[in-house]
Amino acid sequence: MARVPKKHEVTRDLLDSLSEALVLLDPALEVFEWNSPMEHLSGVMRADAVGRNAESVLPLFRDPALAPLVRRALAGETPGTVELPHTTHGDERVLWLEARCVPWRDGEGRVAGAAAFFTDVSDPQRRALLLHAMEAIGQSLTSSLDLNEVLDTIVGKALEVMGAESAMVVLGDTAASEFRVMRAAGRLSQQYAVVGTIPIGGGPISVAVREGRTVATRNVLTDSKLWLAPARRADIEREGFKATAAAPLAAKDRILGALVVHYWSEHTFGSEEIAALEFLAKQAAIAIRNASLYEAEHAEAARIRALTTVNRRISSALELDALLRAISESAAELTGARLATFWLADEQRRILSFTSGTVPEMSESFSPRIMSYDQGGVGWVARHHTPLVVDDMLADERLVNRAWTERWGIRSFVGYPVLAGEELLAVMALGHSEPLRFGKDKQDLIDLFLAQAAIAIQNARLYREAQRRRDVAEVLARLARELTSTLEVEPMAKLLARGAAD
């Protein structure tokens, strides 16, 4: 290992007095000096570093951005600086370091090694990331009111700014029994993310929402200030995350939920990290509130358009098949169901007849077209006069046509009775490839469609009855005219027979 000439040796005290972390390397990349700030930065003591290869002592030296700087310094050049992420030993928190390398020369001016200086620039870097996040979220607020895009932006920037291993947005308040996971990103398993809910208890999320303040813990499993239900503790243990911080999503004096970050090792949150998370949470709350308001307005406008369309068709035509098809198309569009069908009920014979569907090729290929009240999901709805929800029809004993169900990929079923008082008029059935779940707003909309279907069926019945009576009256009038035109018995008998047939 090359040694620095004695007359040019820098005293250890002088090296330790530097504010920058310093490593001196020989041409073989072995460490021959390691100052006190470097011990603090790396967690590696000088005695454990000197005489060893730099890459084996500190993985940072294997970074593809730093290695070229060291080589250029050994070649006598003075390259520019680079900024590198670095994980602090024993803490696992991410620091941003500015690295610069210069040649280390002997007394004769020959390059004897390289000096690598490291400066902690985490705060400026975090501020730069935060400004970038502010810009991105601001653009999201102004360029898109799509809630999914806003949520993607929020969790993405939380991961970036906080250096977190996972981030998620949950919605819910203290009046609810659980929080809804609206978006999750990072290291969380798919099983954890797709559950969709987190029970309210005494963990960081619950406390943050209940008390309206940011809650951070070095280890969520061992923090005595928090308590977790057994099932929730088991979920966290299975995932493996430890350090957690949750900031409330506050908008207009209302807590909407929380922005949460996780780390898979113990980590102490600094004041600037807390401030950054709180800023992101405030911006997230505004974005979510605006997007939610837009979606609500958009949904209301779509609901009004659908109801207007169906009402217009009800008032302008009395052809039942066309009316039920219009209602089923609107129901499928606004609920997201792949297929919507109507089955007309015959209460006396206790049978259901297929009358209309939203997807012609699917509807036309289905059989049977007539089913008793004892057959299928629609029969169950007809028999009990109550809705039925089945998440997996292939596993349900009421399935009538397995081949059709497998062919079209329809797994879930939701059936609703169309009632006029206690009388069953029809059954509306929704089918989809995934389980169907409807909130209060959509359920209210479905109820309106069912009421409109009842009106359409009753109007069609009245129209058909009026048309039948008109036809009978026309036959009788024609028969009377023809009877008065002859007095012969045989022609009169033929006329009466024809009139009876008509």
Of 55, 51, 75, 73, nearest to 63 (Cα)? 55
Shared-domain flag, residues 322 and 338: yes
Domain final position from 252, 274, 290: 290
Low-confidence ranges of the chain (pLDDT < 50): 1-10, 141-142, 492, 495-496
Shared-domain flag, residues 114 and 187: no
The answer to whether position 305 is within a domain reads: no
The answer to whether position 96 is within a domain reads: yes
The answer to whether position 98 is within a domain reads: yes
Domain that holds residue 155: 125-290
Shared-domain flag, residues 190 and 85: no
For tokens 């509130």, the residue is 289
The answer to whether position 498 is within a domain reads: no
The answer to whether position 324 is within a domain reads: yes
CATH number at residue 279: 3.30.450.40
The answer to whether position 299 is within a domain reads: no
Structure tokens at 294: 């837009």
Query: What phi, psi does 152 have (nearest 5°)?
Result: -60, -45
In 10 A of CB 47, how many CB atoms? 9
CA–CA separation, 394 vs 387, rounded Å?
A: 19
The residues that bridge with 243 in the sheet, in sequence order, are 263
Shared-domain flag, residues 247 and 375: no
Shared-domain flag, residues 28 and 171: no
The answer to whether position 162 is within a domain reads: yes
Shared-domain flag, residues 108 and 206: no
Domain final position from 105, 120, 135: 120
Tell me the HSE value of 71 on the side-chain side, using a 13 A CA sphere.
Answer: 7
Shared-domain flag, residues 46 and 163: no
What does the pLDDT read at residue 2?
44
Shared-domain flag, residues 265 and 348: no
The answer to whether position 472 is within a domain reads: no
Structural domain count of the chain: 3
What does the pLDDT read at residue 210?
92
CATH number at residue 93: 3.30.450.20
Shared-domain flag, residues 168 and 193: yes
Shared-domain flag, residues 141 and 282: yes
CA–CA separation, 377 vs 392, rounded Å?
A: 12
Shared-domain flag, residues 221 and 102: no
Shared-domain flag, residues 345 and 278: no
Domain final position from 237, 255, 290: 290
Yes or no: say if 242 and 93 are a contact pair by the CB < 8 Å rule: no
